[in-house]
Amino acid sequence: MFIDEVMELVEMKTLKDALVGLPGITGLSTEQRKRLTIAVELVANPSIIFMDEPTSGLDARSAAIVMRTVRNTVDTGRTVVCTIHQPSIDIFESFDELFLMKLGGEEIYVGPLGNNSYHLINYFEAIQGIQKIKNGYNPATWMLEVTTSAQEIALGVDFNEVYKNSELYKRNKALIMELSQPSIGSSDLCFPTKYSQSFLTQCIACLWKQNLSYWRNPIYSALRFFFTIMIALMLGSIFWNLGGKK
């Protein structure tokens, strides 16, 4: 089944029947919750997925597990657009392409990373005055250090203008123009129905989910039932035969 394929993709087969629970108290850990979030998105079988800092709040081991899940998703042919904050070398190397912006939202590098960030390093080291990266140094940390506003002032350059005058920028523009043109004989994307399932199927699924949620917490459900009965008896006794009195 497709669900089993998704669970295997995000490495959650062993957690198939686990409850999500409360963060930090019961159920899944933070790292497992992040993988579950990815799995929920994959159930819709999207061609592109956007992720906002999937490794934030995780230790090195948990971040590596989450990024392995992201990498597995990419290997299925899907596109993953991901923001990342101060990644380690291993996490940074798991990406194929980089969209780097400076303060103000202007792009200063858009292109492939290459093996050991070869393309990124070559691009910035070709700019006159840029300090060479040291052996074993994190390329992600290095690129942020050499592209600060203070570096622009010290070198007298605008990294955005440097990028716009580069061959990389011209190749990217040409690729955008090529991909923006539909293929000959292609038709517009359309779907036979607005929703993938009928209204009745959606109602049954929602009711079944809500039923499971109540039965998973019998004490809470029993208290609700008890208070409902008590309030009904109390209000009934207050207004009992009130309309018949003269």
Distance CA 51, CA 42 (A): 12
Q: What is the pLDDT of residue 26?
A: 72
**How many other CB atoms sit within 10 Å of the CB of residue 73?**
22
Per DSSP, 88 falls in state -
- C-alpha distances out from residue 64 to 3, 58, 112, 142, 162, Å: 23, 9, 21, 21, 34
Structure confidence at residue 110 (pLDDT): 95
Is CATH 3.20.20.70 the right assignment for the domain spanning 2-164? Answer: no
Amino acid at 150: A
pTM of the predicted protein model? 0.71
Residues of the chain whose pLDDT is less than 70?
23-25, 243-246
pLDDT digits (tens, 9 = 90+) for 161-211: 999 999 999 999 999 999 888 888 888 878 788 888 899 999 999 999 998
Distance of CA 201 to the CA centre of its chain: 28
Which amino acid type is present at position 100?
A: L
Q: Which amino acid is at 242?
A: L
DSSP three-state, residue 79: strand
